[in-house]
Structure formats: C-alpha cells, structure tokens
Amino acid sequence: MSDGQPLALAGVHHVRLPVSDYARSLVFWRDLLGYEINFEFPGEDGPAGIALKHANGGPHVVLWLDPVKAKQTSGFPWFAIGCRSAAEIYTLRDRFDEQGIAHGGVQEAFVQVKLPFVEDPDGHLIGFYVVP
C-alpha cells in the first residue's frame, strides 16, 4: 500500500537491445561510441548477451542475441543518451557521417541541440541529447 510518497529512483540501470550480430553491433557500440565489454551472459553456443559499460558516463547497455526480435523492433526509437555539450553532439554527427550511419541530423532542442534517429546496425533508433 502506498503512503503517497514517491519512490526514490536512481536513473536507468541498463538498456537491453536485441541484436542479430554481435560483431556488427560491437563496431557501433565499442568502436564508434567508446563502450567496453563488461561481461558476457553464457549461452549454449556462445554468449547469449554481452554487457557493455562506458568509461565516461554512458548508460549500461546489454546486447542480447535475438535476430528475430532485432528485426521486429527495427525502426523503433529505443532511447536517448545524454551528452555533456553541443560539441559532443557535432562530433558524433561527424563520426556517423564518416561511417555512412543514418541519422536525423543535428536539430535544435529544449536544451541546446540533439541528434535523433541514429540507426544502430539492426536499424534501432537511438538519440543523443545535451544534458547539462
């Protein structure tokens, strides 16, 4: 029973994304965004999932091998990651442009700028917003 007081929550613990191919997904998350492998979830024929962490404040991400679900959820805007400055948003845009990764372009936002609709290798949409 609720006493009327809101619960004390502490942000997002992690996000789990279905992926069709670990190697392709790791190029995006590790090589472009700077994530590191934290640990693997064991499966029958290799890892069932790979937990990623970011050394500079990004949310924890779990890549879960599920090609069917990855295809079904392609095109959905999953979540947005905060960046510390507009300069970081522009740097991300340039990295994605260099790799031919589709996105919605840098746009004005309530807090400076955002880079929405960045496509991961399975077509999931991820945004980047300035969070001061």
Answer whether residue 5 is part of any domain.
no
- Spatial distance between the Cα atoms of 24 and 122, rounded to a whole number of angstroms: 9
pLDDT tops 80 at residue 1: no
CATH number at residue 67: 3.10.180.10
Beta bridge partners of 17: 63
Enclosing H/E stretch for 132: none
Per-residue tokens: 36: 């590191």
Answer whether residue 121 is part of any domain.
yes
Cα–Cα distances (Å) from 44 to 16, 37, 41, in that order, read 19, 20, 10
**pLDDT score of 57:** 85
Answer whether residue 53 is part of any domain.
yes
Q: What is the pLDDT of residues 60-113, one digit of tens each?
A: 999 999 999 999 999 999 999 999 999 999 999 999 999 999 999 999 988 899
Domain coverage including residue 36: 14-130
Answer whether residue 42 is part of any domain.
yes
State pTM to two decimals: 0.88
Number of domains in the chain: 1
pLDDT tops 80 at residue 11: no
Beta bridge partners of 74: none
Answer whether residue 6 is part of any domain.
no
- Spatial distance between the Cα atoms of 8 and 24, rounded to a whole number of angstroms: 37
- Spatial distance between the Cα atoms of 64 and 76, rounded to a whole number of angstroms: 16
